[in-house]
Amino acid sequence: MTHLSFTQTTQNALRELDRLEAIKARLASFIVDLKETPSVDSDTWVRMYTERLVSNVIPAINEVKEYLNSQEALVTKASN
Q: Is the residue at 49 inside a domain? A: yes
Closest to 53 measured CA to CA, from 36, 18, 28: 28
Question: For residues 46 and 31, is the Cβ–Cβ distance under 8 A?
Answer: yes
The rounded distance, in Å, linking the Cα atoms of 32 and 6 is 30
The answer to whether residue 31 is domain-embedded is: yes
* DSSP letter (8 states) at residue 37: S
Q: How many domains does the chain have?
A: 1
The model's pTM: 0.80
Per-residue pLDDT of the chain (80 residues; tens, 9 = 90+): 455 655 678 888 899 999 999 999 999 999 999 999 989 999 999 999 999 999 999 999 999 999 999 887 665 555 54
Give CB contacts under 8 A, 24+ apart, made by 52-57: 52/27, 53/24, 53/27, 53/28, 56/2, 57/20, 57/23, 57/24, 57/27
Q: Which domain holds residue 27?
A: 10-75
